[in-house]
Structure 1
Amino acid sequence: MQESETGLRARLVDAGVDLLAREGVQALTLREIARRAGVSHGAPRRYFPTHLELLSAIARRGFDELGRRATAATGEGAASPREQIGALGRAYLEFALDNRGMYELMFRHDLLESRHLGLRDTSLPLFARLVDLVARARPGADARLVAGALWANLHGVAQLWGWGSLQLATGAEDFGRLLRSALDAHLGPEEA
């Protein structure tokens, strides 16, 4: 029985996700993904006309997982907006550090920039959630700018922590204090 087009597409993406987790972004060639999916090296082109389209489909899986984690982290209705932002920030940092190759792929400019790939449609709702929480935590502030600065700060923490630089520079043993400092810097000190 012949595999459905949807099934083969999913198998190619699954192979890419697995390859990314095991060997990193540099290993994501069409030929290697096809080999691991058990298909001819030309098969991916039938389902993903460009390499960027396949990479985008793989990155979309990362955004879906990050979205699930964000929903779980902020799903506690009784928590204040600031507490939800803290939980969202922790989920973001944990995802970035647990999935370094995927995280790197997800934020590749060439994938996000290409409007026809639709990856921005997957990533922007996560940012919108942060903007909404910031608007509730800091009424009157330009929530998009504050959220953007906070996101940039978290992205930097993820990168520098992953490289070991922040541990060396700050002596911190986990990123919790850095996360609290980022929240204080962008939202103001937490009220006691």
Structure 2
Amino acid sequence: MGIEGTVRERLVDAGVELVLSEGSGSVGLREIARRAGVSHGAPRRYFPTHRALLSAIARRGFEELGARSATAAATAATPREELAALARLYVAYALERRGMFELMFRHDLLDSGEQHGAADGPRLREATLPMFERVVELVARCRGEATEPSAAVTAAALWANLHGIAQLWSWRSLQLALGDSPAGPASTDAPDAPDRLVEAALDAHLGSATA
């Protein structure tokens, strides 16, 4: 990696650190430069727009989530088991790396096409779409049907459900709703409480695994 590539990676590293510690709304070019130890004008050589910088940071998150997903799915014996493993990981990642998770899916803030300042790199969409396409494939295999179009709709609904679980759990809204409910988890502070909600979402969209 050349000097320019090294500087660019340092800027992205600093951006990831800032997103995780202070949230995506705090990511500015000047603060990134300060944390990376370069001049205030240096980020503009690599990220001519704020969206381009955010996109490069978001891509790092998708790469990390993709690597974790591959590990989580490696031991699954059936499509349902793999889908469950990916779903649990998705929610766990959201709760662990909240700032990054929030940024990754804000495509209104990102360059989903070509990333400015990184013409030699892949587009952001090439980092975001494979995960969804895999979920569509697994949903289709679980239901024994073709991947289009109903499996894609079910996959999108499941994704929205999981995303909602992650967000509402991070805001403690679900804990409030379920804390005193006989139908809720035995303890909303139990480590497996989000996993039980994930299983309920899978059952709702695919039918019970034990049926």
Please say whether Structure 1 and Structure 2 have the same fold, judged by a TM-score greater than 0.5: yes
C-alpha RMSD of matched pairs (Å): 1.5
* TM-score (normalised: structure 2): 0.85
Q: In the alignment, does 2:160 pair up with 1:152?
A: yes
Give the ranges of 4+ consecutive aligned residues of structure 1 lying more than 6 Å apart after TM superposition. Answer: none
Deviations 1:98-142 (A, max 9, x none): 011000110112245642232111010010111111111011372
- Taking the aligned partners of 1:113 and 1:166, their CA distance within structure 2 comes to 32
Stretch moving more, 149-158 or 67-76: 67-76
CA contact (8 A) 1:130 1:147 kept: yes
Q: Which has the higher helix share?
A: 1
Aligned to 1:110, the other structure's residue is in SS state coil
- Taking the aligned partners of 2:111 and 2:105, their CA distance within structure 1 comes to 10
Q: In the alignment, does 2:185 pair up with 1:180?
A: no
Stretch moving more, 95-104 or 136-145: 136-145
Aligned to 1:109, the other structure's residue is in SS state coil
Residue 54 of structure 1 aligns to which amino acid in structure 2? L
Residue 132 of structure 2 aligns to which amino acid in structure 1? F
Cα distance, 1:41 vs structure 2:
1.1
Name 2:50's counterpart in structure 1: 51
- Taking the aligned partners of 1:54 and 1:25, their CA distance within structure 2 comes to 11
Q: In the alignment, does 2:29 pair up with 1:30?
A: yes
Residue 78 of structure 2 aligns to which amino acid in structure 1? S
Stretch moving more, 159-168 or 113-122: 113-122
* TM-score (normalised: structure 1): 0.93
Stretch moving more, 68-77 or 38-47: 68-77
Aligned to 1:42, the other structure's residue is in SS state coil
Where does structure 2 lack aligned partners over 5 or more consecutive residues? 116-122, 180-184
State percent identity of aligned pairs: 61
Name 2:119's counterpart in structure 1: none
Where does structure 1 lack aligned partners over 5 or more consecutive residues? none
Name 1:163's counterpart in structure 2: 171
Deviations 1:131-189 (A, max 9, x none): 11111101137211111110000000000000000111122322121111100000011
- Taking the aligned partners of 1:191 and 1:112, their CA distance within structure 2 comes to 41
Count of aligned residue pairs for this structure pair: 189
